Structure 1
Amino acid sequence: MTQPAPDAHASDTPVAFPQARSCPFSPPESYARMRERPGPTRAVIPSGKEPWLLTGFTDVRTALSHPASSSDARHPAFPALGDGEQQVAAELRPFIRMDPPDHTRVRRMLVGEFTVRRVREMRPAIEAICREQAEHLLSLPTPADLVSEYANRVSTTVICRLLGVPMEDLEFFRRITSVAGARNSTAQEVGAALGELFALIDRLIDEKAEDPGDDLISRLVNGPLAREEITRHSLLSQIGITLNAGHETTRNMIPLAALDLLRNPDQMDLLRDDPGLWPAAVDELLRHLSVADVITLRVATEDIPLESGTIPAGDGYIALLGAANHDPEAFPDPERLDLTRTQRNHVAFGYGVHQCVGQNLGRLELEVALRVLFERVPGLRLAAPLEELPQRSASTIFGLDEVPVAW
């Protein structure tokens, strides 16, 4: 193993990672303690590897934008948190686990689907989906689960409509993404779950080659695939990761953000008085909650100099987005939800060349889902003690498994 940076926490016993949140609305308390000490922190993860943890806002952005920052899961030091994660990513090679130029080539095929203009055109459809699911929620006896009966249904419907996936079974996709995103899933379990998903996508590729529609899969099949710019195997992987990421992030953000607003009634009042604050509110909620905290797994292919030290060449590291988004040097009083906050440079969607390609859709979907929810269910309230809500701590994307609500 490469010698660590002189000013890193090399002399300390590595900290066990990942760590659970004590409060669902904030990253683990240990992040603040790590950030107060000089240099990156050495950690030990379930695989036995010892990557570095980055917690400062400047360090995180510097490391993620450095040309020596590699996302390639095939690297031996890649700090996958689940035993099955690295093996599956190395075999399937989704574009989020590629480096340029391969990453650039595949990302270019997708980016046009998520431009501001294209996403803006989707607003009426997303509003209709959210209204329909809000009415579904209201039709249920209370308490009802905000996760399964609203957030999951909204997020699955939106991403499946975008891709052109038939909506025959909402829970099929929920089950697949739960297994694929869980840190404790084995390679066999992840492979079996993704195998079911890829079987469906493989059939859709054939169907849309014969009868294309106005959807992402049709455009990819009759564009890059037809021109042999991408292999069928790679196309399956890219569609799969787009479906998984598009579903899982919003599924977790919607109920958590709704609770965050409910526990801050002064901020909710601001939105009632000025609905024009909703876009800013979404960015502040994304910063505050940082549900994709640990998705930025990297390897340094060369020494990466940071403000606080150096990540040695050949070492893995994890840029903790939640820690960066709660760095008081970047965001004063970071634990406070402040919808009037002027800083909009959070890293909830990552940073650098791998910044989330679907962030425009994610922002719009979260805004519409929350606005419709509070407009249609103005008396919404949590129907169980907050501390009893089961957290999805074993998942790549943080969230809550159940959120019983009443109105």
Structure 2
Amino acid sequence: MSVASLVSAVRSQVLGLLARRLSGAGPYPGLAMLPDKVLWPLHRDGLDPVAEMALREPVSRMSVPFGLRVWLVRGYEPVREVLGSLDGYSNDFAKFAGQVGINVRQDPGGLGFADPPVHTRLRKTLTPEFTMRRLARLQPRIEQIVAGQLDEMAAKRPDVDLWPDFALAIPALTICELLGVPYEDREYFQKLSTARFDMAGGAGVSLDAIGESLSYLGGLIEAQRREPGDGLLGSLIRTHGDAIDDRELAGLADGVLTGGLETSASMLALGALMLMDDDAMAAGMRNGEHVDETVDEMLRYLTVVQVAFPRMATRDQQIAGVDIKAGDVVICSLSGANRDDHFGEATDRINPARGRSHLAFGYGMHRCIGAELAKMELRTAYPALVRRFPRMRPAVDPEKLKFRRASIVFGLESLPVKL
């Protein structure tokens, strides 16, 4: 979560738009599918990026038809260069949609597809709500949520699906708590969040999920305008009043909700799988040893948000000696960058002592604003899980686990375990 990240949910929309262009379909093509020559950066070999990622140059042209010039950037330094650029690239949704010749009926708004000065103003508005001091008030509630889910799992023993009962429930309840979204709506938003990330569903599914989410949040904001609550929306309304309009509020809330839900859920599930396979790492978590460093290394290793917000070059320039023309689309592979030899030897293995800044939450002005909230969830949930169920193991052969084949947020479809 990066929302994390806001590891924002709307980043899937751009690739969804590309799916429509590639399929030659109209505004809502149904089940349009991206070809493998475009999807391959989203594929994995187990938990690792596919071998082609390591064989590619740090900057390489993607094979995309219709004359589109799309570049994949995977090297650590080139990715930082692109993500750290203040004026060389645009995230503006309208500009990108125009570039690929598509008219859309729903601009998602929010931080992910905004350029300065709009992005600067919106991020300045949201940042105070995600400081460590402000987030600290959520720590007791996160601990209660984790303990409650572990109790529910224990009641279902011996066979439990860790995905809905643990991984998805914890960030869903945390973000509902943060935003002030009613508890009974959490399953509804889990469905919308998953739909927008899965490229196999086609662009129409993603766009409809975004529209439905924004529509719901509009009603929630209307209620908060009348009587501001203690959550993020109520706080923003009390602080900024009419200086921030309902559409902007809905875009920000949608980014927090969907960006922080699916991403954190995937990290919790995949991290639990790793802990079941690594007794030494699980023992360290259980004993509270190097939890922060281990969580950061797991974030680097897994990099569940596989690509950053697609960017459009605003001028002719070079990345790592490669000529990029104004209007070219640049996609940064976070999973590729986080396996770069910048991190030392054996980057396909966990080593909490690496001590170097990973890019799992992105970098620069679009770095996930909810990164610290996501870490709070992981640092709380992993140790509690292995303490409560030290003998937990997968209930199926690991080779039979179903991973998402081509999702911007990498993850499992389910994780049955025996407690």
Amino acid at match of 1:146: L
CA distance in 2, matches of 1:216, 1:210: 15
Corresponding residue number in structure 2 for 1:25: 47
Corresponding residue number in structure 1 for 2:253: 239
Q: Which deviations, in whole Å up to 9, do the C-alpha atoms of 1:333-370 show, x marking residues without a partner? A: 10011123222x10000011101011110111111111
Aligned identity (percent) is 32
CA distance in 2, matches of 1:45, 1:177: 27
Corresponding residue number in structure 1 for 2:152: 136
Name the Cα RMSD after superposition: 2.5
In structure 1, which of residues 268, 274, 289 is the aligned counterpart of residue 302 of structure 2? Answer: 289
Corresponding residue number in structure 1 for 2:365: 353
Q: Is the 8 A contact 2:221 2:249 kept in 1?
A: no
Corresponding residue number in structure 1 for 2:91: 71
Counterparts in 2 of 1:353-372, with a 5 A limit?
353-372=365-384
CA distance in 1, matches of 2:98, 2:152: 43
Report SS of the residue matched to 2:282: helix
Q: Which deviations, in whole Å up to 9, do the C-alpha atoms of 1:274-305 show, x marking residues without a partner? A: x1411111100000000101133111112343
Q: Which runs of 5+ in 1 are unaligned?
A: 1-13
TM-score (norm: length of structure 1): 0.87
**Matched length:** 383
CA drift of 1:234 comes to: 2.2
TM-score (norm: length of structure 2): 0.85
CA distance in 2, matches of 1:278, 1:116: 18
Q: Is the 8 A contact 1:79 1:317 kept in 2?
A: no
Q: Is the 8 A contact 2:79 2:333 kept in 1?
A: yes
Matched, 1:40 2:59: yes
Corresponding residue number in structure 2 for 1:5: none
Structure 1 pair 245–378 and aligned structure 2 pair: CA distance change class (3 A)? same
Matched, 1:213 2:229: yes
Which stretch of structure 1 is more off in the superposition, 149-158 or 119-128? 119-128
CA distance in 1, matches of 2:286, 2:370: 28
Matched, 1:111 2:131: no
CA drift of 1:45 comes to: 5.1
Report SS of the residue matched to 1:393: coil
In structure 2, which of residues 140, 145, 167 is the aligned counterpart of residue 124 of structure 1? Answer: 140
Which stretch of structure 1 is more off in the superposition, 21-30 or 391-400? 21-30
Counterparts in 2 of 1:338-349, with a 5 A limit?
338-343=351-356, 345-349=357-361
Corresponding residue number in structure 2 for 1:318: 331
Q: Which deviations, in whole Å up to 9, do the C-alpha atoms of 1:192-250 show, x marking residues without a partner? A: 333432333222222222222211011223333x2x32222222122112110011111
Counterparts in 2 of 1:5-404, with a 5 A limit?
16-19=37-40, 20-34=42-56, 37=57, 40-44=59-63, 49-67=68-86, 68-76=88-96, 87=104, 91-224=107-240, 226=241, 228-273=242-287, 275-343=288-356, 345-404=357-416
Structure 1 pair 162–25 and aligned structure 2 pair: CA distance change class (3 A)? same
CA drift of 1:64 comes to: 1.0
CA drift of 1:190 comes to: 3.1
CA drift of 1:48 comes to: 7.6
Q: Is the 8 A contact 2:313 2:327 kept in 1?
A: yes
Report SS of the residue matched to 1:305: strand
